[in-house]
């Protein structure tokens, strides 16, 4: 049986980070990938989504500026846009595999455990000093009749021709972001939501303002609706819900994601897990010594995001080579939904402390600034949360919320004092960054 220093199961952002770091050592490493090298983010997640958003933003901003100096809004040609997307992204998995292969052994296939020490793939068995599970998450399946008609983010982000009508089940990050893209390209979009609100984690006011903005662009929202079955008549699909029927041509199932543990045969091991993923200790070690888990597959309270997965990859590398003995501690984590307008946040949610006298919440409409008025952006609102003089939370809805909130993450993460900030930082003017100094107490 072949033995390695490290076996990495998966090659997404978490494992890829570790693989790059391990390439600079003399460790013998095996990387096992069952699907596309590079994982979710570069192939069917963040990267293709933000690439498509480039053209979509232009279309939506030009619509917003109609009668404000723009007479003809831009039009999106989905087919042409997807050609450029496929050209850019199709080579990535094989290029990523080649990069990994320059330094490590690779096995193309899904790995499973034989016991607490042995991994099997393609009929070969391997052992290692450290086995690292970085298998990520996969879309939830809906167990309803007609579930075979449901599509995932993977399918939609490769869709060469745009169906005239698209129904989206679920209004979390994936549902809202992908609905924004296809609606801007001209599809008639209906969102089916099983509760009375979208996203969660942002403020109610931000949720509502985002729904209002999307509705104004013609996107339909059906709240408190549970899909019960899907049927097909000719080319038309019908989703039956407890709120009535939705007729459509294409259905995106965006009802959340579940950890990729099924194929691992964890029942052959003593690795503990729950429905959120694999349980780890402060050193990312599972309940079995020598076996670790990083990235989206981990059961933890931090959001499942690419920078978090990479951070854990960096931490585990440092820990395994003896550079640190400390337990992992996470930085201030910023998060955004790349909708139009965007919503973004870091730290304390203003809604959670609205009635707590220890906190002061400041709401700042941004539409009066020339920067925002120039975009005819009527919505942009920044909300800051202070505990005493310290900024502890920031959230925003607006065309550039993600970039705007990035200005506040260092202040919260580094606990920067307002006076020190004003003394040492002079931001570019005019941009949101230039207002930060004035907004601090
Ligand atoms: C549509 C979409 C948009 C997103 N947008 C953003 C964004 O804007 N910003 C952000 O921060 N995050 C975003 N995310 C989340 C981000 O993609 C994930 O947090 C990130 O990819 C997690 O990295 P990972 O390495 O843990 O897992 P993954 O990237 O999922 O990689 C895991 C890999 O393991 C492989 N694998 C699974 N089981 C096995 C097995 N048994 N054997 C071998 N290989 C296996 C899989 O094939 C996969 O390649 C988005 C996700 C989606 C779906
Ligand atoms: N911009 C980003 O950073 C970004 C983008 C996409 C994904 N992600 C990551 O991926 C994770 C998963 O995103 P997601 O959108 O798949 O999940 P999510 O948990 O954010 O949203 C799932 C949605 O589906 C709904 N839902 C669940 N079960 C349902 C059912 N049976 N019927 C109808 N609706 C149902 C939920 O109420 C929710 O609105 C996110 O939490 C985030 O960590 C991040």
Q: How far is the CA of 41 from the centre of ligand 1 (A)?
A: 5
Longest dimension (CA), the chain: 71
| Co-location of 283 and 264 in the same domain | yes
Q: Answer yes or no: is 335 within a domain.
A: no
| Co-location of 30 and 103 in the same domain | yes
Cβ density class 324-356: b for 16+ within 10 Å, e for less: eeeebeeebbbbbbbbbbbbbbbbbbbbebeee
Question: What is the number of structural domains in the chain?
Answer: 3
Q: How far is the CA of 303 from the centre of ligand 2 (A)?
A: 11
If you take atom 1 of ligand 1, which residue's CA is the nearest one? 45
Helix, strand, or coil (residue 252): strand
| Co-location of 134 and 151 in the same domain | no
If you take atom 29 of ligand 2, which residue's CA is the nearest one? 255
Residue that terminates a domain, selected from 236, 255, 274: 255
Two tokens at 290? 């020598």
CA dihedral 266, 272, 273, 277 (to 10 degrees): -90
Q: How far is the CA of 161 from the centre of ligand 2 (A)?
A: 25
Q: Which residue has the tokens 């705007």?
A: 404
| Co-location of 124 and 212 in the same domain | no
pLDDT at 432: 82
- CA neighbor of 35 nearest in space, from 94, 110, 140: 110
Separation between Cα atoms, residue 283 and residue 327, nearest integer Å: 5
DSSP letter, residue 297? G
Q: Answer yes or no: is 216 within a domain.
A: yes
Is 170 annotated in some ligand binding site? Answer: yes
DSSP letter, residue 285? B
Q: Which structural domain range is residue 177 located in? A: 147-255
Q: Answer yes or no: is 331 within a domain.
A: no
| Co-location of 120 and 156 in the same domain | no
Per-residue pLDDT of the chain (441 residues; tens, 9 = 90+): 899 999 999 999 999 999 999 999 999 999 999 999 999 999 999 999 999 999 999 999 999 999 999 999 999 999 999 999 999 999 999 999 999 999 999 999 999 999 999 999 999 999 999 999 999 999 999 999 999 999 999 999 999 999 999 999 999 999 999 999 999 999 999 999 999 999 988 999 999 999 999 999 999 999 999 999 999 999 999 999 999 999 999 999 999 999 999 999 999 999 999 999 999 999 999 999 999 999 999 999 999 999 999 999 999 999 999 999 999 999 999 999 999 999 999 999 999 999 999 999 999 999 999 999 999 999 999 999 999 999 999 999 999 999 999 999 999 999 999 999 999 999 999 988 888 999 999
Is 172 annotated in some ligand binding site? Answer: yes
Q: Answer yes or no: is 7 within a domain.
A: yes
Ligand 2: residues with CB < 6 A are: 142, 169-175, 177, 194-195, 226-227, 254-257, 303-305, 335-338
pLDDT at 433: 87
Indicate the burial class of 419 (C-beta count within 10 angstroms; 0-12, 13-18, 19 or more). exposed
Complex-level ipTM beyond the 0.95 threshold:
yes
Q: What share of the chain is helix, strand, coil (3-state, %, to 5)?
A: 35, 25, 40
Instruction: Report the residue among 47, 155, 170, 304 best suited for mutation to probe ligand 2: largest number of ligand atoms under 8 A from its CB.
Output: 170
pLDDT at 390: 94
Element (H, E) at 126: strand 124-133
Q: What is the pTM of this model?
A: 0.97
Phi first, then psi, for residue 48 (nearest 5°) are -60, -35
Q: Answer yes or no: is 327 within a domain.
A: no
Residue that terminates a domain, selected from 320, 350, 372: 320
Q: Answer yes or no: is 336 within a domain.
A: no
Which residues are CB-contacts of 16 (< 8 A; sequence separation ≥ 6)?
A: 38, 39, 96, 100, 313
| Co-location of 95 and 238 in the same domain | no
pLDDT at 435: 86
Helix, strand, or coil (residue 341): coil
Which residues are CB-contacts of 412 (< 8 A; sequence separation ≥ 6)?
A: 332, 346, 347, 391, 392, 393, 394
Contact present, 242 and 160 (Cβ < 8 Å) = no
């Amino acid at each position: 049986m072949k033995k390695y220093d490290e076996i990495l199961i998966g090659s997404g952002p978490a494992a890829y980070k570790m693989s790059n770091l391990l390439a600079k050592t003399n460790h013998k490493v095996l990387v096992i990938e069952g699907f596309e090298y590079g994982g979710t983010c570069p192939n069917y997640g963040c990267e293709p989504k933000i690439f498509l958003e480039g053209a979509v933003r232009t279309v939506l901003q030009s619509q917003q500026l109609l009668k404000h100096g723009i007479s003809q809004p831009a039009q999106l040609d989905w087919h042409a846009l997807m050609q450029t997307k496929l050209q850019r992204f199709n080579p990535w998995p094989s290029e990523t595999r080649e990069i990994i292969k320059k330094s490590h052994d690779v096995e193309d296939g899904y790995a499973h455990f034989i016991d607490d020490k042995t991994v099997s793939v393609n009929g070969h068995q391997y052992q290692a000093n450290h086995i690292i599970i970085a298998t990520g998450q996969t879309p939830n399946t809906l167990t309803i009749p007609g579930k075979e008609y449901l599509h995932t983010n993977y399918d939609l982000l490769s869709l060469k021709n745009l169906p005239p009508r698209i129904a989206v089940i679920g209004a979390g990050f994936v549902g809202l972001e992908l609905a924004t893209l296809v609606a801007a390209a001209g599809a008639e979009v209906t969102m089916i939501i099983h509760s009375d609100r979208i996203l969660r984690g942002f403020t109610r006011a931000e949720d509502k303002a985002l729904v209002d903005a999307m509705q104004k662009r013609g996107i339909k929202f059906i709240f408190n609706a549970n899909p019960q079955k899907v049927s097909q008549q000719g080319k038309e699909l019908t989703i039956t819900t407890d709120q009535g029927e939705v007729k459509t041509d294409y259905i995106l199932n965006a009802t959340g994601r579940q950890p990729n543990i099924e194929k691992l045969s964890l029942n052959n091991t003593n690795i503990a897990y729950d429905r959120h993923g694999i349980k780890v200790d402060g050193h990312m070690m599972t309940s079995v010594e020598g076996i670790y888990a990083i990235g989206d597959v981990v059961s933890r309270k931090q959001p499942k995001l690419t920078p978090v997965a990479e951070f854990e990859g960096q931490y585990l590398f440092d820990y395994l080579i003896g550079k640190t003995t400390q337990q992992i501690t996470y930085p201030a984590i910023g998060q955004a939904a790349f909708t139009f307008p965007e919503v973004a946040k870091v730290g304390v949610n203003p809604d959670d402390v609205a009635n707590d006298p220890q906190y002061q919440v400041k709401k700042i409409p941004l539409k009066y600034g020339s920067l925002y008025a120039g975009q005819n952006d009527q919505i942009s609102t920044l909300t800051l949360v202070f505990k005493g003089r310290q900024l502890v939370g920031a959230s925003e809805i607006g065309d550039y919320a993600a970039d705007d909130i990035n200005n506040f993450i260092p202040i919260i993460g580094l606990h920067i004092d307002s006076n020190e900030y004003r003394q040492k930082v002079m931001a570019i003017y005019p941009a949101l960054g230039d207002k930060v100094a004035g907004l601090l107490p």
